[in-house]
Copies of this chain bind each other. A is one copy, B any other.
Amino acid sequence: MIERAVHRRVRTIAEDRTHGASELARICLHMGADFALREPVRDSAELHDVLGQLAAAMTAARPSMAPLYNLLNRWTERLAQLPGMELDAARQAAAAAAREVAEESVRAMGEAARHASGLIGAGRTVMTHSLSSTVREVFRLLKDGGVRAIVSESRPLCEGYALTDQLSEWGIPTVLITDAQLGLFVKQADLVLVGADAILEDGAAVNKAGTYLLALAARDQGVPFYVCCESFKRRSAGMGPLELEEMGTEEIGAPEQPHVTVRNVYFDVTPRRLITGWINEHGLDGGAH
């Protein structure tokens, strides 16, 4: 029963294609709060154990996404107090802790976006790839300052369209291109700004496939390349080796052909040397140039 309840939630997280890593981590936390309040358990010790199992399973479901590891870890650390409490009080405490960690994450995202928008200033053309909630927030902060956007569709599921939909609503003049045109348009940008699903210990950025190509083109054409994300995105040694998630090939829509293997690796790694700077909730952290 409890296993089914865990499994159902973990599947939702594993199959999610519409949220970035931080948003998904917050969804996990809200699911955790809901789980803590509702699911039948004997006592606060069992509650502690099943919440730990839920958090571990959610983290394992999206190994490329450091915020799940970091935020769910931060939450489960606070759950150490549960055993020994009255069950109802333990439920409330677990849910409150989940909400607080989610709120910390939202604040950090907002601060990172605020630093990025200050750094960029008014009237600039910003190019991005894929859909990052932090980058979207940067555009919101800059929308009345004459910002312009260049956005790639980001195959296979084209979440770039969701970003242009939002930019369109804000009245931001936007150019939408295929991923193959990234190298043709980067010169028209004053800077590139991308989010990240994780930052490696050496400063490399894990983000949607194609980000590395954009970083290469930006470097080749002298356009600064910034990564904007909260420090919750940092991978730590405890997370084990980096695994780049691969999704179902039906997302690509290619014909099935004998001898042909379709691949759908979702993330690539942009090395530190291609990154001009990282922007997190504490401000700008300078990079390789």
Contact = CB atoms under 8 A, between A and B. Distances in A.
Interface of A: 153-156, 158, 161, 164-165, 167-168, 171-185, 208-210, 212-213, 216-217, 220, 244, 252, 254-255, 257-265, 268
Given A167-B259, A180-B155, A260-B176, A161 B268 contact: no
A161 B268 CA distance: 23
13 contacts: A153-B252, A165-B257, A168-B257, A168-B259, A176-B260, A179-B210, A180-B209, A180-B210, A181-B265, A182-B213, A183-B213, A213-B217, A216-B217
Contact of A174 (B164, B183, B208, B259): B259
A158 B175 CA distance: 21
B213 A180 contact: yes
Contacts of A265: 177, 181, 184
A134 to B, nearest CB: 20
Given A168-B257, A220-B216, A255-B161, A263 B180 contact: no
A268 B179 CA distance: 13
Given A184-B209, A268-B181, A176 B216 contact: no
Contacts of A257: 164-165, 168, 174
A190 to B, nearest CB: 18
A220 B268 CA distance: 14
Nearest to A271: B220
Given A154-B180, A213-B182, A168 B263 contact: no
A212 B185 contact: no
A168 B260 CA distance: 6
A38 to B, nearest CB: 38
Contact of A208 (B155, B173, B177, B180): B180
